[in-house]
Amino acid sequence: MGSTSAPNNEGLGRRDLIKRSAALGLISVPTMSFLSACASGGGGDTNTDKPKGEITKDNPFGVAKGGKIDVVVFKGGYGDDYAKAWEASFNKKWGVTATHTGTQEITGKLQPRFNAGNPPDIVDNSGAQKIKIDVLHKSGQLLDLAEVLDAPSVDDPGKKVRDTLIPGTIDAGLQEGKVVALNYIYTVWGLWYSGKLFKEKGWTEPKTWDEFLAICKDATAQGIGGLAHQGKYPYYINVAIMDLIAKTGGLEAMKAIDNLDPKAFVGSDAAKQAVEAIYEVVEKGYLMPGTNGLEHTESQTRWNQYKAVFITSGSWLENEQLKQTPADFDMKFMPMPLLPGSKMPYEAIRAGSGEPFIIPAKAKNLAEAKEFMRMMLSKEWSTLFAKEANSLTILADGVDPSVKLRPGTQSTVEASKRAGTNTFRYLYTEWYSEMDTEIQNASNELMAKRIQPAEWLKRAQAAVDKAAKDPAAKNNRRD
């Protein structure tokens, strides 16, 4: 669940499994011959990568009219309508016809093509069956995207593309110092509520923890749960706990956890304050009844039915709940409320990027692919994405204000504008999955009142100390 792309919860059917394993068997035989072809000194074919069109300021890669582009997109939580809209726009501007593939089987469809040396031109390499980026990079299959990032921006040719992006968002695609994947979707995490419910009850967005508790109290008195969380996946309540720690103790408190500090939890005032605050919600009975055992969709749907005021989640929530959300629900995002003495302002949010787009180094239409990616980072295409997939992109201020977004997405636009540079992002979830799981287990116990905050801190610290014992932990460090 800890991924920035929308969780795709469609399971793998038995029949599919059999079909796929049969397919894999079929693939693996020809793949072997390709591999051996590679091993026996391929590379004889020279890459005919000279631009076909004239290179101008508006056409930095030399795209020729009437060309082709082969686009493969992961069709998961965000669908693939946005890519179709892009392709139509690309055709209109350049007269380039796109071959579109929307699929969940990225590995199954692309591994043979990479091995045969005829990969597509641009790929959204995402989902459960994505091809590992580091593996592709190490086998020399990925184009260094610096060329695209240093090209002039579509909206403002005086600026480089990389300077139009939200700071820090391209780092997620770094491999050995090169950006080889463009993590395109911008995700924010925090609390969500219904604007309609707030208006009805006369509540306003709580900026402090006391105000938050007051609303929970008022709601509980009226038979509405205060806070809902997706109990079966303690990942979600950890969003609340960890955000509170970061906002209370500042970036130092966050880095202490990522860097496996011996005082990351036990001995950290921010952590103590944050966990005690969350436990107060449990102790005072402000949780939505039964929320601790619910699936994420069950819990979110209950919240959509006004059975709880707040819920924790990332910004994929609106798209995920599209069908369950009443038309007048008015979904709203808000940052975690502040505890007394917080080092970060109320507006600070957890934010990061996901959904990696790559350009294969051996793509047949490199110029078109690079231009396609450049246009992805234009305001027009970023807006198209926001409309079709109800999510933001890493383009700073990337949505045309004249476009009417869904209310939840609109509120994340405003929240990230207000946050400015006050954003943070934990990395321990990507680095130490075992530690993450152990902290999640402890949170599950805390929410069920089976352990107290002091015990939670002890268990979380034990998880950190255990992770620190692994010699490989030295390779990960942030300053």
- At its nearest, how many Å lie between another protein and the CB of residue 424? 24
- Assess 104 for contact with another protein (CB under 8 A): no
- Assess 11 for contact with another protein (CB under 8 A): yes
Question: Distance between CA 107 and CA 70 in Å, rounded?
Answer: 16
Give the gyration radius of the chain's Cα atoms.
24
- Which of these, 290, 278, 317, lies nearest to 443 by C-alpha position? 278
**Complex with another protein: residue 303 or 372, whichever CB lies closer:** 303
Say if CB 19 and CB 103 are below 8 A apart.
no
Site string for another protein, 128-157 (x = CB under 8 A): ----x--x----------------------
Site string for another protein, 37-76 (x = CB under 8 A): ----------------------------------------
The secondary structure of 284-310 as a DSSP string is TT-BPTTGGG--HHHHHHHHHTTSEEE
- At its nearest, how many Å lie between another protein and the CB of residue 260? 16
Stretch that binds another protein, among 81-89, 97-105, 284-292, 415-423 (CB under 8 A): 284-292
Say if CB 101 and CB 50 are below 8 A apart.
no
Burial class for 45, CB neighbours closer than 10 Å (0-12, 13-18, 19+): exposed
- Which of these, 172, 119, 126, 473, lies nearest to 352 by C-alpha position? 172
**Complex with another protein: residue 215 or 446, whichever CB lies closer:** 446
Stretch that binds another protein, among 28-36, 154-162, 393-401, 435-443 (CB under 8 A): 435-443
Stretch that binds another protein, among 108-116, 247-255, 321-329, 444-452 (CB under 8 A): 444-452
Question: Distance between CA 6 and CA 3 in Å, rounded?
Answer: 7
Stretch that binds another protein, among 257-265, 310-318, 359-367, 437-445 (CB under 8 A): 437-445
Question: Distance between CA 36 and CA 116 in Å, rounded?
Answer: 11
- At its nearest, how many Å lie between another protein and the CB of residue 298? 7
Q: Are strands 349-358 and 182-194 parallel, antiparallel or unpaired?
A: antiparallel
- Assess 294 for contact with another protein (CB under 8 A): yes
- At its nearest, how many Å lie between another protein and the CB of residue 338? 29
Question: Distance between CA 180 and CA 134 in Å, rounded?
Answer: 9
- Assess 16 for contact with another protein (CB under 8 A): no
Site string for another protein, 202-241 (x = CB under 8 A): -----------------------------xxxx-------
- Assess 269 for contact with another protein (CB under 8 A): no
How far lies 141's CA from each of 106, 121, 138, 455, in Å? 15, 12, 8, 48
- At its nearest, how many Å lie between another protein and the CB of residue 7? 12
Applying CB under 8 A, among 441, 454, 477, 478 the residue interacting with another protein is 441
- Assess 420 for contact with another protein (CB under 8 A): no
- At its nearest, how many Å lie between another protein and the CB of residue 301? 10
Burial class for 445, CB neighbours closer than 10 Å (0-12, 13-18, 19+): middle
Question: Distance between CA 132 and CA 370 in Å, rounded?
Answer: 21
- Which of these, 399, 428, 431, lies nearest to 416 by C-alpha position? 399
- Assess 434 for contact with another protein (CB under 8 A): yes
Applying CB under 8 A, among 35, 37, 146, 448 the residue interacting with another protein is 448
- At its nearest, how many Å lie between another protein and the CB of residue 292? 5
SS3 153: coil
**Complex with another protein: residue 299 or 365, whichever CB lies closer:** 299
Burial class for 381, CB neighbours closer than 10 Å (0-12, 13-18, 19+): buried
**Complex with another protein: residue 213 or 442, whichever CB lies closer:** 442
Tokens of 300: 């979110």
Stretch that binds another protein, among 64-72, 100-108, 191-199, 285-293 (CB under 8 A): 285-293
The secondary structure of 37-73 as a DSSP string is HHHTT---S------SS---SS-TT-PPTT-EEEEEE
- Assess 36 for contact with another protein (CB under 8 A): no
Applying CB under 8 A, among 444, 457, 463, 464 the residue interacting with another protein is 444
Q: Quick one: DSSP state of residue 142?
A: B
Stretch that binds another protein, among 15-23, 99-107, 240-248, 434-442 (CB under 8 A): 434-442
Say if CB 349 and CB 360 are below 8 A apart.
no
**Complex with another protein: residue 29 or 56, whichever CB lies closer:** 29
The residue to which tokens 């419910």 are assigned:
197
Q: Which residues bind another protein (CB under 8 A)?
A: 11, 14, 132, 135, 231-234, 285, 288-295, 298, 302, 433-434, 437, 440-442, 444-445, 448, 450
